[in-house]
């Protein structure tokens, strides 16, 4: 049972959210992504500049494909 229904906001722990895309390397200064909204953020940020949620410590670094 998951408390988040499919028609509600995405589950931040779901692997398909917050994972880098192939085009993400073109975003300057983005070294990781917000697990809540998927916005590219700098690893220096404590909060997402799009959704405002607190970013977890040690966000996954972008993996170049």
> pLDDT tens across 23-65, in order?
544 455 557 889 999 999 888 888 999 999 999 886 555 444 4
Is 61 within the bounds of a domain?
no
Number of domain units in the chain: 1
Per-residue confidence (pLDDT) for residue 45, from 0 to 100:
85
Kindly state whether residue 47 falls inside one of the protein's structural domains: yes
Work out the widest C-alpha separation in the chain, in whole angstroms.
39
Report if residue 50 sits inside a domain: yes
Quickly tell me which residue has 């405002």 as its tokens: 52
Q: Is residue 21 part of a domain?
A: yes
SS3 25: helix
Domain around 27:
17-56
**52 lies in some domain:** yes
pLDDT at 60: 55
Read off the pLDDT of residues 7-25 as tens digits, 9 standing for 90 and up: 666 666 666 655 555 554 4
């Amino acid at each position: 049972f998951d408390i988040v229904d499919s028609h509600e906001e995405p589950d931040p722990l779901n692997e398909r959210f917050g994972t880098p895309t192939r085009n993400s390397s073109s975003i300057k200064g983005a070294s990781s992504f917000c697990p809540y909204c998927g916005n590219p953020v700098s690893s220096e940020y404590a909060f997402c500049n799009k959704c405002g949620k607190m970013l977890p410590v040690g966000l996954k670094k972008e993996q170049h494909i």
